[in-house]
Amino acid sequence: NAGVTQTPKFQVLKTGQSMTLQCAQDMNHNSMYWYRQDPGMGLRLIYYSASEGTTDKGEVPNGYNVSRLNKREFSLRLESAAPSQTSVYFCASSEQGGANYGYTFGSGTRLTVV
């Protein structure tokens, strides 16, 4: 089925470790996004990529980096994980300017930093 695929689904890291969350979409969408979801806070935008070759910071970019590898893939990297980064991470995609038309979400990555 077409959609947004995130890997891994679950991950436990020790403080200070690094990791990359992978996201790929096969809908030929131009825009991709990374959000984190925390209880009582909804979804907060970390980074987004309006089109291939561009990335922009969102509300909560500190401690993260992103790479728009090609049109299909948008990865999120934690260079030195901290307990405050324990969260559920969602990747989403949309057509160009497509925040105006809504997103397709992946199923999420549940990350625990101990």
Q: Rule CB under 8 A: which residues touch another protein? A: 4, 31, 33, 35, 40-45, 48, 50, 58, 90, 92, 97-108
**Alpha-helical regions (H) of the chain:** none
CB 96, min distance to another protein, A? 8
* Alpha-carbon distances of 67 from 4, 33, 41, 71, rounded to whole Å: 16, 11, 25, 11
Length of the chain as a residue count: 114
CB 5, min distance to another protein, A? 11
Task: Compare residues 63 and 98 and give the one whose CB is closer to another protein.
Answer: 98
Q: Phi and psi at residue 74, in whole multiples of 5°?
A: -145, 110
Task: Compare residues 4 and 24 and give the one whose CB is closer to another protein.
Answer: 4
Cβ atoms within 10 Å, residue 100:
8
Cβ atoms within 10 Å, residue 40:
4
CB 58, min distance to another protein, A? 7
CB 39, min distance to another protein, A? 9
Task: Compare residues 16 and 56 and give the one whose CB is closer to another protein.
Answer: 56
Task: Compare residues 19 and 43 and give the one whose CB is closer to another protein.
Answer: 43
99, 111 in Cβ contact below 8 A?
Answer: no
